[in-house]
Amino acid sequence: MESAQRHRVIAIDGPAASGKSSVARELAQRLHFVYVNSGAMYRAVTWSVLQRGINPTDKSRIAQLIATLKFGCELKDGELRLLIDDVDLTPQLHEDRVNGEVSRVSTVPEVRQVIFNRLRDYANKYDLVVEGRDIGSVVFSETPFKFYIDASPEVRAQRRAAQGHRDQIARRDRADSSRSASPLIVAEDADVIETSHLTVDQVVDEIMKRLRKKNFRVAG
Ligand code: C5P
């Protein structure tokens, strides 16, 4: 049985390119919480799998690899980043090949377990804003502060294109929502925010308003 985490966690889940990262980062800055992008952690593992020439469908080989990797982390500009074998893989995380295989690699139980454990561990040390797919539903299901950020498929496709990334977001969303392990769902007690017609600041304002209603203490 895992221990209760000692710090506050705000969970931000939602589909690909829904604006989660910008919102979560800005929210963390306003609250002086540490920002964690769990999607980046799955991407880093996926890059490591591909870099070694491992077939992303070979779950047992991926599980073996996970057991040999050294996982660390670095706090940089208010963000906790996963290090694999002492390397921050951030520049590689949006390569086309990573976009193409991350949903598949994310279904491997040993991959999910290692990232789950790291996220729980982070919450023993810091107040966190964590974004992902299963943060409010599984990883920090006990937090009262959980949000599901959505936007129309058209707006999400535009947002991703504006970032200059080629990414088949509809395909990833289907895979992430239909898998059996920790699928993307709206947690029962999550606040859903439709962001298609809102700016990042407006979404963060809305989250702050709803946090106050949940008796979240905002410092200052
Ligand atoms: O957030 P981002 O789109 O970068 O996430 C990349 C992929 O990582 C997702 O499509 C999903 O397959 C996986 N992921 C996950 N669970 C999370 C966060 C991301 O399975 N909590």
Please give the model's pTM, rounded to 2 decimal places.
Answer: 0.94
CB-based pocket (< 6 A), ligand 1: 16, 38-39, 42-43, 102-103, 106, 132-135, 172, 176
Count H helices and E strands in the chain, helices first.
8, 8
Distance 219 CA to ligand 1 centre (A): 31
Task: Give all domains of the chain, ordered by start, each with its CATH number.
Answer: 2-211 (3.40.50.300)
Which residue's CA lies nearest to atom 8 of ligand 1? 39
**Looking at this protein, which amino acid is placed at residue 15?**
P
Tokens 């599901």 — which residue? 148
Q: What is the residue-level pLDDT of the chain in tens, covering all 220 positions?
A: 455 668 999 999 999 889 999 999 999 999 999 999 999 999 999 999 999 999 999 999 999 999 999 999 999 999 999 999 999 999 999 999 999 999 999 999 999 999 999 999 999 999 999 999 999 999 999 999 999 999 998 999 888 888 777 778 888 889 999 999 889 999 999 999 999 999 999 999 999 999 999 989 877 5
Whole-angstrom distance, CA of residue 219 vs CA of residue 91? 34
Residue to mutate (ligand 1; options 13, 37, 79, 106; most atoms within 8 A of CB): 106
DSSP string for residues in 58-89: -HHHHHHHHHHPPEEEEEETTEEEEEETTEE-
